[in-house]
Structure 1
Amino acid sequence: MTKAVFRVDANKEIGIGHFSRTRALADEIKNLDFTPVFVTKNDSKVIELLKDSEFEIVKFNGEAENQLETEIEAILSVCPTLVVFDIRSTSHELIAALKKYGIYVVSFDDLGEGRYLADIVVDANLSEEKNPKKLETNTRYLLGEDYAVISKECRAAKKIRRDEKFIQRIIVSCGGSDPSGVTPKVVAGLSNLSTDVEVELILGPDFAPSAKLNEALLNSARTFDIVESPKNLFERMRKAQLGIISGGITLFEAAFLGLPSIVVCQNIAQLKNLPKFEAIGGIINIGLSSNNPILNLTPIVRSLESEEKRKAMSRALERLIDGKGVDRICGAIMEVMGR
């Protein structure tokens, strides 16, 4: 079988969304006679996340003085035909070193100089008009929501029927690590929400114990259901009537599942994801968490009590994200490789 390297990292600072996306693509690409191998830094959360999987992991020292050479050596040690990057920015030197050996390169959300040497750049957040092309090369750009990667687990959850009549359950999911500490603000912001509504707090696999969260829970007038790293996250999202989420990968997953959502962004990059979702009326955009020391969420939740309003939001989101992004990306890879 042909080896395909997935070069990705995960930690509390950058979250685990990049890993989740590459894992979803790796699961699909196995069916196309590729053997996926993950290459990651030796202190990356990826190692723990894959410990019980069938995937091979190659580690390298991300703190080495000659990190670039060490990274290239780790990738080349696999002898891959294809390398998929999800590290947000690649250098010209890195990609050039791989292209010298005739390796095909795919890169996600890449705004580095290496993108101009890649065979394929995938960015569900960009449109053709906003794509920063400084050089005219043979790179193929797969841009927009049609290329959002939705995992097979998320797609499977779509078959669950949602009871849309009343808001019975709100799910709060702020990513795998919640680097900006959105969750405690959400707890405080829902403190006076009716206890007739269940609120589930999803704590991701890299969520660190938080004194702020404990304080917010103790000071709240209501209770919250705390769920740590659930394996059935997507089923829970499908059953909820409303989401309070961050603007990363979770936004696309929630949209595919037709979950009307209030979105609080962890960073500027997430904020840039929102205009199209907001324009179709599928979400309520709160903006950056750092700009909102207090989230007054209860009035917003009450404004969404109308079943018809939430149904309209749900249908708009489902039309935007059809869940076929992985198939389109795999098809483009096979075309570029002439397979």
Structure 2
Amino acid sequence: MRVGIRVNASSDIGLGHVMRCMTLAEMLQKWCRAKIHFWINDDAPATIVDDLSARGFKVIFIPGEASASLYERSADRIQDQASKQIYDAWACIAGLQGVDELELIVVDHYELGEQWEIQLLPSCRKLMVIDDLANRRHCCHILLDQNLAPDMELRYQGLVPETCVKLLGPAYTLLRSSFFEYRSEVRFRHDCCHILVNFGGSDPTNETEKVIAAIRSGGSRFDHIRFSIVAGQANIRQQEIAKMCQPLDHVTYYSRHNDMAGLLASVDVAIGAGGISLWERAFMGVPALVVSVAANQTEAVLEAERLGMVWHLGASEVVSEGTVLSALEQLLNDRTQIKEKSLKCLEVMQPLINKGIHPILSVIEKNA
């Protein structure tokens, strides 16, 4: 099987999109012996490019203004979004010169939609979209939206072809294989002895420093709690965060962590963002204090809060050191909430926990 995947990554937009695409690519590589080509922005973090190459994926860089330079178009002529999508598509097609027809193309990119997909359809047998905004039309055979939202079944009505196979909800979450390896250690939590702090791979809104400041303000009240701080591999403030952690004896600092599933298996509570991290924590039964660090995270986080899975602290622009401190104090004063939310996390993720093989693989094999 030959597969092309279009995705972007940066310290601004984070690494969530590329990480879930990497997870899908590894599954296809293992179970379908797929040869994977990644189309990625040419200013993607070097660590991500190295990770993709180390896993045996071919990396094709897409210039920042899509194909402006490739097709001798100046940036001021690429005004509307449709044109930008078409030029991006042309750049992707140009990168496939010498490659046989792809069985599958996957696109995970908020700025690409129907116009891009129509250009790429002749280059593949099937096209799959990963989305969670439901704000634009798609021309695809498979659509994956692994988030929670009210009226999930109706979200893409009129936005995808009637024949499109829709994979909706956390039962289709693209979790790394390491999480399934820790399935035997999935359990409900009831105490608050070890807390993980991580806001994804880049933490673009600098939430980590707010949490460390809250830990410091809490003083001796938090001395009995171990905190594991994971800054993220593309976090541009790693040095500052490490310096803040250094004088705190009960805080362990990591610039990145190569076994997030194992770390989650060891903690009782987490503090972090929405996105894929929301479902990684839920899969392991870890309730979390959640900050929405991007507008596209808010709907799923609010729905998770409504179901009783998380505590939503608010959007990043309104969350402060004081917000985090108050939430931690309330948590310690009423630990029954930890068990209740942990059990709810496991209930929501149970369909995926029980699967021997990821359900998306059988859908792709059937449709590719």
For the criterion TM > 0.5, the same-fold answer is yes
> Percent identical across equivalent pairs?
21
Write the deviation string for residues 245-277 of structure 1: whole angstroms up to 9, x where unpaired: 101110110000100110011011111111331
For residues 136 and 307 of structure 2, the distance between their equivalents in structure 1, rounded to whole angstroms, comes to 34
Give the Cα–Cα distance (whole angstroms) in 2 for the partners of residues 230 and 42 of structure 1: 25
> Any residues of structure 2 matched to 1:65-214 within 5 Å, and which?
65=68, 66=71, 67-68=87-88, 69-75=90-96, 77-79=98-100, 80-109=102-131, 115-125=137-147, 126=149, 127-131=152-156, 133-134=158-159, 136-160=161-185, 164=189, 166-191=191-216, 192=218, 193-209=221-237, 213=241
Within-5 A mapping of 1:36-47 = 36-45=36-45, 46-47=48-49
2: CA distance between counterparts of 1:291 and 1:222?
A: 29
Distance 1:217 1:229, change over 3 A: closer
The structural deviation recorded for 1:212 is 6.5
Q: Which digits, 9 at most, give the CA deviation of each residue in 1:54-90, with x for residues without a partner?
A: 2222223233414422123224653312111111242
Aligned partners of 1:72 and 1:113: how far apart in 2?
Answer: 25
Q: What TM-score, normalized by structure 2, do the two folds share?
A: 0.82
Matches within 5 A, 1:1-339: 2-30=1-29, 31-45=31-45, 46-63=48-65, 64-65=67-68, 66=71, 67-68=87-88, 69-75=90-96, 77-79=98-100, 80-109=102-131, 115-125=137-147, 126=149, 127-131=152-156, 133-134=158-159, 136-160=161-185, 164=189, 166-191=191-216, 192=218, 193-209=221-237, 213=241, 224-305=251-332, 306=334, 308-322=336-350, 323=352, 327-337=358-368
Indicate the SS of the match to 1:274: helix
> What is the letter of the counterpart of residue 331 of structure 1?
S
Residue 215 and residue 29 in structure 1: after superposition, are their counterparts in 2 closer, same or farther (change >3 A)? Answer: closer
- CA gap of 1:128–1:165, structure 2 versus 1, over 3 A, is closer
Q: How far, CA to CA, are the matches of 1:144 and 1:163 in structure 2?
A: 21
| Structure 2: distance between partners of 1:151 and 1:135 | 27
Considering fraction of residues, name the structure with more helix.
Answer: 2
| CA distance 1:165–1:276, shift in 2 (3 Å) | closer
Q: Secondary structure at the match of 2:254?
A: strand
Aligned-residue CA RMSD (Å): 2.7
Q: Deviations over 1:76-111 (max 9, x none)?
A: 653312111111242333211222345311110165
Deviation, 1:210, is: 5.8
Please identify, of 65-74 and 108-117, the stretch whose mean Cα deviation from structure 2 is larger. Answer: 108-117
1:332 maps to amino acid: V
Shift of 1:296: 2.9
Do the aligned residues in 1 keep the contact of 2:192 with 2:269 (CA within 8 Å)?
yes
Asked if structure 2 preserves the Cα contact closer than 8 Å seen for 1:117 and 1:137, the reply is no
| Shift of residue 196, structure 1, vs aligned partner | 1.1
Give the secondary-structure state (helix, strand or coil) at the position aligned to 1:50: helix
Question: Shift in Å at residue 222 of structure 1?
Answer: 6.9
Which region of structure 1 is more displaced relative to structure 2, 187-196 or 7-16? 187-196
Work out whether residues 168 and 197 of structure 1, in 8 Å CA contact, stay in contact via their aligned partners in 2: yes
**Counterpart contact for 1:39–1:58, Cα < 8 Å:** yes
Q: 1 CA distance for matches of 2:188 and 2:346? A: 16
Segment drifting more, 316-325 vs 31-40: 316-325
| Whole-Å separation in 1 of the counterparts to 2:346 and 2:21 | 23
Query: 2:282–2:345: 8 Å Cα contact kept in structure 1?
Result: yes
Long gaps (5+) in structure 2: 72-86
Task: Indicate conservation of the 8 Å contact 2:37/2:60, yes or no.
Answer: yes
Tell me if structure 2 keeps the 8 A contact 1:107–1:115.
Answer: no
Name which of structure 1's ranges 324-333 and 230-239 shifts more when overlaid on structure 2: 324-333
Deviation of 1:307 (Å): 5.2
Please report how far the alpha carbon of residue 200 of structure 1 lies from its aligned counterpart in structure 2 after TM superposition: 1.1
Contact 2:41 2:64 in 1 (8 A): yes
Could you tell me whether the CA contact under 8 Å between 1:171 and 1:243 is conserved in 2?
A: yes
Question: Shift in Å at residue 158 of structure 1?
Answer: 3.1
